[in-house]
Amino acid sequence: MTVSTAHDVEAAYAWGDKELAFIHCQNCGCVTHYRTIGGEGAPRIAVNFRMAEQEQINAVPLREFDGKTML
Domain ranges (residues) in the chain: 1-71
Note the pTM of the prediction, 2 decimals.
0.61
Residue 7 has pLDDT above 70, yes or no: no
Percentage of residues in the chain having pLDDT higher than 70:
86
**Residue-wise pLDDT tens digits, 9-23:** 778 888 778 888 998
d(CA 43, CA 36): 6
Mean pLDDT score across all residues of the chain = 81
